[in-house]
A and B are shown apart, each in its own frame.
Chain A
């Protein structure tokens, strides 16, 4: 849907974000400022099938420490369509699933990325397992809402994944778009399955 008062909203929201940006800067002055918030744009996670047919295809694997897509076993999380898996636990049982070699896990926290400063309790971390996703799939369950009327996938604001990496480090991340170049208002024709996410990688500690 195209919005008629779009520009007005842009203006209002820009003003608003100016203020929130300021306050974020203040928050960051608390000792972990050496950690960098990175944005990884347009991680392409295609899938085959769909449209009622069985889904398949290679997962796109990502490593936080390398800030890059990887093809070896050093991955922490991997993407295919709206499905996200972690490098830890056992096979879920879906087609073309990569072998898990690490000890990764994820804890899902409702908060802003900046406000997550500590590692959540160990009991809140989940791994993939037979017929179980560490990051639940489906609209409203995990990281996104799907609008059946507009066919738009929207990452839920304030869903932060604290990821235990394959080698036991931590990263916190928030997915901010599922569309190429993260348009503010994606349309049904926007190119899809392009993840943009913000994250902070903590190579040696348990605070962000």
Chain B
């Protein structure tokens, strides 16, 4: 999978509010007051009283920005950083924790398909999104593995049962020969509603490198089709069928010395869910939820004689039946659920298809103690067959100081199961000759290598106990203030992750290279402060701003520096010197400061609104440059930078609207360090609704 990104694209909307800008801003104002979130508890909760740090990206703000892939939207949010990884994907860093620890859901269902540990967010078109809900901090008590740093839930437009045919079509043209076409239709009868969304996206990619053969982002195209059906059997029973089909094709090229290779990489994804809601009584509701998804990635390279040089394949299936119940006792709510996960994966470098199975149950109680207090307690137990089972508790507390201000605190446990690569990999590096073995197959494979006389000696590791999941403790302490035109929230957070999985040499081959496997080794911690505020000066002008301060470090490194065991080598004099504790900068790819400011200005007389956003990210490191494998203050850093995005929205008569925008207005680029920053992109877009 190649790196692909940031091509400014289309966006669009199937929202009728879009037409009249004045209505938009009023809607925005009122919708904030009764902002509801479902991701934190799987029940509808007001943001103000929920004792968890949350963030909501409204469909309205997505439309106004003119952006259209999820990665572009995410990186405009306070405290969220999109990080490119070697596999080509771009994941989300939350509270300083890696993208691998963030669970991404579409309409509450998990997305799969991580070939190098990161789920690529650009796969998701945001054109039919109602809103994006983000819950920060460990959420394994509801969602199980991976919901360690947080959960991002993309909520698409709800299907309505109105008798009118509604729809829209829009087209966006952007720099790098980027085209994006979206359309949606809605139609319903009394008892049935139908919606179809389609998106086609195509770009030439871009090149920041000096090579004129291999581009930074190769040309690619993709389409998304999302049909939805809603059937109301009665007032008490309804059925929702959601499907998503995604297909992407990208050029794939490689240059090894003077040899040039060409090929293609393909992604096929399919998500399907059936949801049956049954209101048994006024106080008791059951949800039957069946979800299945398949992610397939295939790529190949041919040499100049068109002979196959290299290929790799990945085919992942996931099935999950789940039953949830919601029981109301006065104002209080008891939620319980049971389910089964079944996952299979076939891929290059796995000897055979692997299966992961688990059963789970969860429970949660939302307790509105008194007028001013509410408590959230929850737990989940996952009975895993392939690694250690997990119990994940969580507790949250909200205190309503007065009508405008509430205090929130939460404490939770999160975990991430070893990924299938860490359990089942069987990889031999063809150019250097080292071997990487998954933990669950290492003992057997090693014995096999030994019997073939390939092993010089082993380092005596024992594989009899299962590999442990990476696990975290997360603490948040924050507050939420809202009065008239001002809203403000803050959150202090702390995370510590234990049993981080890393490789260790388990044996040496006769060719001098090592055999590696995965072990629970490291311990890291992150802490910081997040601030968000918004203010509406008048009905035409609003401003919002956010800031995050972050420290993220490896505890093992901190300890070693304190013991005086870590040195750095001056690259010029090649002399080593001992590091002091204050010299340690922390983990790679973490900025101490990130900030944003967003302005929205409406000129009613010409029905035009201007939306400007400025982002700042302070310096961060992506590699060690002084021979100690850690990031210290003498290393080379990626410079801090500002980005500015600007969008102008204009409404015309006859249901037309148009948009003109520029991303990265000042054309900031760092060719060597930030491959996902393409430089300035202009775009224009036109939409028609019917």
Contact = CB atoms under 8 A, between A and B. Distances in A.
A53 B511 contact: yes
Interface residue tally on A, bucketed by range: 35 or more
B432 interface: yes
Contacts of A154: 624, 627, 629
A138 B504 CA distance: 10
B196 to A, nearest CB: 43
Contact of B636 (A9, A49, A52): A9
A54 B623 CA distance: 32
Interface in B107-144: none
Interface stretch (B374-382, B523-531, B571-579, B646-654): B571-579
A1 B565 CA distance: 27
A112 B577 contact: yes
Interface in A62-104: 81-83, 92-95
B629 A145 contact: yes
Contacts of B629: 140, 145, 154, 156
B433 A17 contact: no
Interface string B301-340: 0000000000000000000000000000000000000000
B466 interface: no
A115 B576 CA distance: 10
Interface stretch (A118-126, A164-172, A176-184): A176-184
A190 interface: no
B636 A176 contact: no
B572 A13 contact: yes
B212 to A, nearest CB: 17
A102 to B, nearest CB: 23
Contacts of A93: 456
B460 to A, nearest CB: 11
A24 B566 CA distance: 18
B511 A1 contact: no
Q: Chain A binding site: helix, strand, loop or mixed by DSSP?
A: loop
A155 B627 contact: yes
Nearest to A110: B565
B86 A184 contact: no
A157 B512 contact: no
Interface string B554-572: 0000000000111111111
Interface in A1-50: 1-6, 9-10, 12-14, 16-17, 20-21, 24, 47, 49-50
Contacts of A55: 510-512
B431 interface: yes
Contacts of A138: 505, 508, 514
B377 to A, nearest CB: 43
A168 B18 CA distance: 85
B516 to A, nearest CB: 9
Given A51-B432, A52-B433, A157-B567, A10 B514 contact: no
A157 B568 contact: yes
Among A12, A113, A137, A149, which residue has the most Cβ atoms of chain B within 10 A?
Answer: A137
B571 A185 contact: yes
Interface string B494-525: 00000000000100101111100000000000
Interface stretch (B3-11, B279-287, B670-678): B670-678
A157 B571 contact: no
A131 interface: yes
Contacts of A137: 508, 512, 514
A112 B578 contact: yes
A141 to B, nearest CB: 6
Contacts of A156: 567, 627-629
A157 B456 contact: no
A78 B255 CA distance: 36
Interface string B74-94: 000000000000100000000
A111 B512 CA distance: 28
Interface string B624-647: 111111000010110100000000
B433 A20 contact: no
B457 interface: yes
Nearest to B430: A52
Contacts of B572: 10, 13-14, 17, 184
A128 interface: no
Among B432, B457, B511, B512, which residue has the most Cβ atoms of chain A within 10 A?
Answer: B512
Interface of B: 86, 428-433, 456-457, 505, 508, 510-514, 564-578, 623-629, 634, 636-637, 639, 670-673
18 contacts: A1-B623, A1-B673, A5-B636, A5-B637, A20-B570, A21-B573, A24-B575, A51-B433, A52-B429, A52-B513, A53-B433, A112-B577, A137-B514, A154-B629, A155-B569, A155-B627, A156-B567, A158-B628
Given A157-B567, A158-B569, A176-B569, 4 more contacts: A4-B671, A17-B575, A50-B432, A52-B511
